[in-house]
C-alpha cells in the first residue's frame, strides 16, 4: 500500500495525466513491493515464488535486498543498460522496490541500508518503531489504504470533465487541498532527473 501511495504522490508531483501507463506504474509498484523480502524464508514471496527460498539461505534478512546498493543496481539495469524497457514498467519496479525499504525503516530492527557496511538504520526513538503484525502496523495499513483510494478519487475529480466537476462542486475544494498538500515540486524534479516518469 505504501508503494501505491508513493507512486500516486510521485505522479501527482509530476502533474502526470491520467493514462493507463500511470495506473500500470502504480500496479507494478504494488506487485514488486514485497519482493525484497525474498531474503526471508517465511515471507509471501519466498513461499509463493518457485525457488525463491534459496535466496534466504545466502542473504541475511533486511541486508542486501534492502540496501541502497541493490536499489542503485536495479535502477542502473533498468534505466542504464539500454534495454528499452517501457518507462511505466521500469518506474513501477524501482518505486516498488525502494518503497519497501523506506517503509521497513520504521521497523524496530531497521535495515542494513548501506550494505555491505554493517550499519543498521532504524527509527531514532523507540516509540517511532512499528513491529510486524503489531496494532501500529494495522493502523498504518488502514490509513495508507484510505489515502490511496481517496487520493485517486480526488486526482480523478480534478482531471474530470467540467460537467462532472460541476456536479461534484462541493467536493472540489477538499480534493484541491488534498492533492495540493502532496504535490511536491522537488519530488517531481528529482523523478524527472532520474527519468522516473
Contact footprint for Zn ion (CB under 5 A):
37, 104
Shortest spacing between CB 15 and Zn ion, in angstroms: 31
- Site of grid cell 486526482: 155
| Cα 26 to Cα 10: distance, rounded to the nearest angstrom | 10
Minimum CB separation from Zn ion for residue 14, in Å? Answer: 27
In the complex, minimum distance from the CB of residue 111 to Zn ion, in angstroms, rounded to a whole number: 7
Going by C-beta distance under 8 Å and a sequence separation of 6 or more, which residues neighbour residue 29?
Answer: 3, 4, 6, 7, 91, 92, 93, 95, 96, 99
Cell numbers 539461505 correspond to: 57
Other beta carbons less than 10 A from residue 40's beta carbon? 19
CB of 28 to Zn ion, least distance (A): 18
Nearer to Zn ion, 8 or 37 (CB): 37
Amino acid at each position: 500500500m505504501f508503494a501505491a501511495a508513493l507512486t500516486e504522490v510521485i505522479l501527482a508531483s509530476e502533474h502526470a495525466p491520467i493514462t493507463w501507463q500511470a495506473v500500470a506504474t502504480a500496479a507494478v509498484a504494488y506487485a514488486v513491493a514485497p519482493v525484497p523480502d525474498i531474503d526471508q524464508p517465511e515471507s509471501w514471496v519466498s513461499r509463493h515464488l518457485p525457488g525463491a527460498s534459496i535466496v534466504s539461505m545466502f542473504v541475511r534478512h533486511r541486508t542486501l535486498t534492502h540496501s541502497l546498493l541493490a536499489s542503485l543496481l536495479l535502477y542502473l539495469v533498468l534505466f542504464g543498460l539500454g534495454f528499452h524497457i517501457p518507462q511505466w514498467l521500469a518506474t513501477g519496479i524501482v518505486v516498488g522496490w525502494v518503497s519497501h525499504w523506506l517503509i521497513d525503516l520504521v521497523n524496530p530492527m531497521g535495515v542494513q541500508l548501506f550494505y555491505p557496511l554493517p550499519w543498521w538504520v532504524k527509527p531514532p526513538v523507540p516509540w517511532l518503531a512499528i513491529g510486524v503484525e503489531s496494532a501500529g502496523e494495522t493502523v498504518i495499513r488502514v490509513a495508507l489504504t484510505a489515502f490511496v483510494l481517496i487520493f485517486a478519487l480526488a486526482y480523478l475529480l480534478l482531471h474530470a470533465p467540467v460537467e462532472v466537476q460541476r456536479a461534484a462542486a462541493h467536493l472540489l475544494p477538499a480534493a484541491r487541498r488534498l492533492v495540493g498538500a502532496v504535490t511536491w515540486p522537488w519530488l517531481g524534479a528529482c523523478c524527472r532527473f532520474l527519468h522516473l516518469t
